[in-house]
Structure 1
Amino acid sequence: MLSSEGKPIDTEVLGEKVSPDTELQWNHEPEREQIIQLIENFLSFEVCLYHQILPLRLEDKSLILGMVNPEDEAALDYVNRILIYVNYTMTIQAMSAENHRGILSAYLNYKNTSQPLSQQVTANQANSPELSPQANSTETSSDSQVEAQVEAEAEEVNSHQIQPEHNTETTPAIEIPHLLVPEPNEFTPVELLSTLPPKKFLEELLGRVITGGIGRLYFERLPYEGKILWSENGVLQSVLEKLPLSVFQGALNELKKFAGLRFNTLSEAKQVEKEYLYQKQRILLRLRVMPGMYGDEATLQVLRGAALKFYQQQQFSRISRDAIGISQQLSYKLHELQQRMLANRNISSESLETLKVLNRLLNNLDNQIKDLTESEESKK
């Protein structure tokens, strides 16, 4: 098999069935940490979702790659082009679509409930292989606490292009605003972007990450300058380096204004989500501004199509679990209150009746939440 560059793809296939070891990858801490590091620094989450692949571990200059479809030449070619730069080979391990979704969902849940990964895996990085800048460009070119986050739940993506879901869109209950950004034929040359006024500068940056795929924008602050990067589907598109801090801060302030945040330096990370219509397609912008070593930094992520649906399903599941947990906790407290009231001989019949009504209402609410959750889960 040859890559798009005509070079042989050096791969080895481990069986055609799902390895039992793969089913337990996320349950063992060493394997889990290596998967996290590989997703963060080697093959981004978007790429894993897009191609239905998963980097499992590195063994003796060989990447063990989990694949739902080991015959997917587009996915193999994509990974091989990255491996060429670091002189690695690839060993393929088949895995089920269900297991692939399960591990990616577990990764997302882990990201939602943990501290930034850069603080957790520092101790393990000494044992990790050093990747070239080209390999790292699938996610980020530095350890600036830029989180790779797409909170999406995967459908089976059989094509290699996420298409707008025009036929499945329903009329939104709340009017979604249209996002107006420059079109590609209106873009200012990259080398002149930093000369634009801050508002126009940000609009051009947004235009570049919104036009297609899963786009990301990174604002990285260095001691005496700034850096802005953008990527599409996990692949680095361009980098603006050595930006004067005045230019960098101007663009960052415009991003804060766009997100509805104050211009002052943050003491903790702030995250904002904004939904828009762009070319008749729903997109979600996930903005995160966080304090860095030298001042505020930021990321912006664009979700659309299958990735957006995936994310919304994850969010619905998380909120449903929270709602059920709160309902159960309230039920326990009402039961505790009832026991205390019954132990009080001076309790009035009106108070007992009120408590019974509250219990009925709570039980009804709990059942409705469960019915709603089951209904939405059945649509996946």
Structure 2
Amino acid sequence: MPSSPRETDISEISDSPTHPSQGAEVSGMDTEQMFRLIDGILPFEACLHYQFLPLALEGKYLKLGMVDPHDSSALDYARNILAYLNCSLKTQQITSDTHQSMLSAYLKHSETAQRTSKSINKPKKKPTPAEKTQGIKESASQTSSNSPATETPTPLASTALSCTPIDVSLVSSQKPQDKLESMMINSEETALPLEVTAFHLNQPMDFIATLPPEQLLQELLGRVLTGGIGRLYFERQPDSGRILWSQDGILQSILEKLSVAVFQSLMIELKRLVNLSLYPTAEAQKVEIERTYQDESLLLRLQVMPGSHGEEATLQVLRGAALKFYQRQKLEKLGQESLKLAHVLRKKLKEMRSKSDRYSLPIEAQPDLTQLLECLDQQIEG
């Protein structure tokens, strides 16, 4: 039987070992690797809820410390997540005190890392001209002396690559870009077809909730692609998840009380759909990709953001008149930005000519600049 203390509150986690065996367990743990695994594979909320800890990654095996190694729900959750990373599971029993003290240490580590990050990102004092010159010399010296060297990947990147067949870009350990900047696919590229295999479009939502996560997402996509502006909202709740499906702003159906394991797997499948990093995001990200479906152009707009209880997401599908309107807005914005740049170029050229006349100095680049402005004028008029 699974042990009952699942409702452990974060405030109840102790700071130090209280059991003789706990000290021996803690001393043999690689806490640095454990913290990376909590950040990258098994999130803190899952470790707290299921009473386990990702102790180490050994080749294609993840060693999982469990308070109750026979807890079937915890094992199912871990195996579900690891299946997407092509990893297998090894279990090791740990005490409840060890579990709590390690999670407490992780919280302290996270708080320290956040404070360090904030202090690093603070605006620095503007360097003096002498400091700038010295910095340029030092940089040039370091570049010339270090050019043959190859950058060594971090331990987390190497372990992630050793156990997963997916592309390196999908498991990048780099921090996501701040703000909600859209990452648009090059519009000159041909939009790839969106492959959707939905076999149960006439079945109720309660039925498709029993399907594996990969097929469940396909069924949801099949529904939002029926026409108009489709939207799926993936909402994370304390001990479950739910999905709201709307069409043209009208709520169609709700999938309630999805298990945390299923919801987490759906988030992974959703990220795979748009080639987004599979790691949990610390800041909101927005991705837009162009696809074709049944010979119709689509724009998939995915926004992933951290919520109170874990990651949440919104997937919107634009097509037809709505897509044309959205693209027209994008073009108008690009046109306005281009005009601003053209005005800046004219202003700079005028300033150059003024200084050239004042000091009787020729402008070597003037013919090229004049020709560039003439080309711009022709493109704008055309």
Which structure has the larger Rg over C-alpha atoms? 2
Greater relative contact order, per chain length (Cα 8 Å cut-off, separation 6+): 1
- TM-score, structure 1 as length reference: 0.47
- TM-score, structure 2 as length reference: 0.47
